[in-house]
């Protein structure tokens, strides 16, 4: 099984990020926010985009650490994910910056994404 994080598993263009944010579906965790959009039928793999702003984490080393942690968890779980575009961003500033805590929060968000939602009665 290929465990790489190849370019085809990433959101790279501004339009791709904009379409996911424009779809307006999100799941909020304790520290992370997961925006998602289903991919067209022709595509079968999940893709990931990351947004970690300077407002939440001033130091570049901290921003890069968050991205590295989320990317690694995505890479390990990618084969079991549905065909969706995901954008992960910090919802709140984690203090102190704990890698295990962020990884667990991201895995909880992925579990919520895969769980079928009950239909609302109108």
pTM for this structure?
Answer: 0.86
Examine residue 2 and state whether it is found in any structural domain, yes or no: no
16: domain CATH number is 3.30.230.10
Domain that holds residue 107: 7-114
| Three-class secondary structure of residue 51 per DSSP | strand
pLDDT tens by residue, 57-85: 999 999 999 999 999 999 999 988 889 99
Rounded distance between C-alpha atoms, residue 60 and residue 5, angstroms? 21
Q: How far apart are CA 83 and CA 34, in angstroms?
A: 15
Amino acid 74: pLDDT: 94
Asked if residue 25 is part of any domain, the answer here is yes
The reply to whether 67 falls in a domain is yes
Q: Does 122 map to a domain?
A: no
Nearest to 99 by CA among 67, 77, 76: 67
Q: Which residues contact 69 (CB under 8 A, 6 or more apart)?
A: 99, 102, 103, 106
Total domains present in the chain:
1
Say if residue 20's pLDDT is above 60: yes
**80-115 residue pLDDT tens:** 888 999 999 998 888 888 899 999 999 999 999 888
Note whether 70 and 64 are within 8 A (CB).
Answer: no
């Amino acid at each position: 099984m290929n465990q790489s994080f190849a370019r085809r598993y990433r959101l790279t263009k501004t339009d791709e990020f904009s379409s996911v944010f424009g779809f307006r579906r999100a799941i909020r965790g304790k520290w992370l926010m997961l925006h998602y959009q289903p991919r067209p039928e022709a595509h079968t793999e999940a893709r990931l985009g990351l947004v970690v702003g300077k407002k939440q984490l001033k130091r570049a080393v901290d921003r890069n650490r968050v991205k590295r942690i989320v990317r690694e968890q995505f890479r390990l779980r990618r084969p079991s994910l549905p065909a969706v575009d995901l954008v992960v961003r910090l919802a709140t500033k984690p203090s102190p910056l704990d890698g295990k805590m962020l990884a667990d929060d991201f895995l909880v968000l992925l579990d919520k994404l895969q769980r079928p939602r009950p239909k609302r009665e109108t």
